[in-house]
Structure 1
Amino acid sequence: MIAAQRQSLLSSEISSIETRSGFMECMMRVAERFGLQHVSVLTTPSPDDEFLAPHFLETTLPAQYIREFDSNRLLRYCPVLPQLSRSVMPQCWTVDDDGACDFDFPPVMFDLLRKYGLKMGLVFPLTSVDSSRYYFRYDGSRPRLTQAEINELSMITLQAFDMFDRIRRAEKACANLLSARELEVLRWTAQGKTSVEIGQILSLSDHTVNAYMMNAIKKLDCVNRTQLVAKAIRLKLI
Structure 2
Amino acid sequence: MAIMARVICEFGLDHLTIMQAPGPNDMAIAPLVLESTLPGQFAREFDKNHFLRYCPILPKFNNSVLPQSWSLDGEGPSPNFDCPEKMYELMQRYGLLMGLIFPVTSIDASRYFLRYDGKRSPLHQAELNELGMISLHAFDVFDRMRRAETTAPNLLSARELEVLRWTAQGKTSIEIGQILSLSDHTINAYMTNAIKKLDCVNRTQLVAKAIRLKLIN
Fold shared per TM-score above 0.5? yes
The residue that corresponds to 2:181 in the other structure is: 205
Cα distance in 2 for partners of 1:185, 1:101 equals: 57
Name stretches of at least 5 consecutive residues in structure 1 with no aligned partner.
1-23
Report the equivalent of 1:73.
Answer: 50
Aligned to 1:192: 170
The answer to which structure has the higher helix fraction is 1
Alpha-carbon contact 2:102-2:132 (below 8 Å) kept: yes
Of the three residues 116, 122, 126, the one matched with 1:138 is 116
CA-atom RMSD in angstroms = 2.7
Which residue of structure 2 lines up, in the alignment, with residue 105 of structure 1?
83
Quote the offset at 1:142 in angstroms. Answer: 0.8
| Residue correspondences, number | 210
**CA positional deviation for 1:101:** 3.6
SS at match of 2:202: helix
| Stretch deviating more after TM superposition (54-63 or 155-164) | 54-63
**Aligned partner of 1:233 among 199, 202, 208:** 208
Deviation for aligned residue 1:86: 3.5
Following superposition, the deviation at residue 213 of structure 1 comes to 6.4
Q: Which residue matches 1:169?
A: 147
Counterpart secondary structure, 1:221: helix
Once the two structures are superposed, residues 149-186 of structure 1 have per-residue CA deviations (whole angstroms, 9 ceiling, x without a partner) of: 11111001101111111222222233331145532320
| Aligned pair partner of 2:39 in 58, 62, 65 | 62
3-state SS of the aligned residue for 1:193? coil
Give 1:214's aligned amino acid. Answer: A
After alignment, is 178-187 or 74-83 more displaced?
178-187
Distance in 1 (alpha carbons) for counterparts of 2:174 and 2:128? 57
Would the alpha carbon gap of residues 174 and 228 (structure 1) be closer, same or farther in structure 2, given more than 3 Å must change? farther
CA offset at residue 229 of structure 1? 4.5
In structure 2, the residue matched to 1:121 is 99
Choose which of 24, 32, 37 in structure 1 pairs with 2:9: 32
Measured after TM superposition, the shift of residue 198 of structure 1 is 4.4
User: Within 2, Cα distance between the matches of 1:220 and 1:195?
Assistant: 14
Checking the alignment, whether the CA contact within 8 Å between 2:167 and 2:207 is kept in structure 1 is no
Q: TM-score, normalised by structure 2?
A: 0.83
CA contact (8 A) 1:37 1:141 kept: yes
Matched, 1:46 2:20: no
Query: Could you tell me how far apart the structure 2 residues matched to 1:176 and 1:124 are?
Result: 33
- The separation in 2 between residues aligned to 1:54 and 1:216, in whole angstroms, is 32
1:89 maps to amino acid: L
| Offset from partner CA, 1:191-217 (integer Å, 9 cap, x none) | 22245754776xx5336x976763563
SS at match of 2:92: helix
Sequence identity percentage: 53
Q: 1:195 to 1:206 in 2, by over 3 A?
A: farther
Of 64-73 and 227-236, the range deviating more from structure 2: 227-236
- Cα deviation per residue 1:98-119 (whole Å; 9 max; x = unaligned)? 3324132122212211221111
Tell me the distance in 1 between the aligned counterparts of 2:159 and 2:64. 44
Match of 1:152? 130
